[in-house]
Amino acid sequence: MKALITALFVLAAGSAHALNAADYQVGLAAAAKAAEPGFAGFSAQRGETFYRSTHGGDWSCATCHTDNPLASGTHTVTKKTVKPLAPSANPARFTDVDKIEKWFKRNCNDVLKRACTPREQGDFIAYLLTVK
């Protein structure tokens, strides 16, 4: 699965420009389609709900990334500043596949106690792309 997403993103990004969030979503969309035959595109609204939900645990994505993805957040345990997650506020976001995959793995485990599905990841990015 991971190899598939990476391969697709490489195709999508081509060589014309560096990776961005929309390129990464192309690979996620293919993976989501493969996982759910009824998949009909990502939803920023679902992404926002996902972002703010604690999913039955103690933390949500907003716990460290704040209610507003345009703002700097604070790591809830260590109090270290976390730079904004929305690409419009922080252009360095979603430009490095290894970094994206590493943090989805960690933070989904911390918040949901499992890996996030391709659809959840795509919805999450769709939401981040709407905040400006």
Residues at the site binding another protein, with contacts judged by CB under 8 A: 75, 77-80, 98, 102, 105-107, 109-110
Cβ distance 21 to 129 under 8 Å?
yes
**Rounded to the nearest whole angstrom, what is the least distance from the CB of residue 106 to ligand HEC in the complex?**
5
Give φ, ψ of 82 to 5 degrees. Answer: -115, 120
Instruction: Give the shortest CB-95-to-another protein separation in angstroms.
Output: 14
Tell me the C-alpha distance between 84 and 65, whole Å.
Answer: 7
Minimum distance from residue 75 beta carbon to ligand HEC (Å): 5
Collect all residues with Cβ–Cβ distance below 8 Å to 22 and sequence separation of at least 6.
129
Residues lying near ligand HEC in the complex (CB under 6 A) are found at: 59, 61, 63-65, 75-78, 82-83, 93-94, 99-100, 103-104, 106-108, 110-111, 124
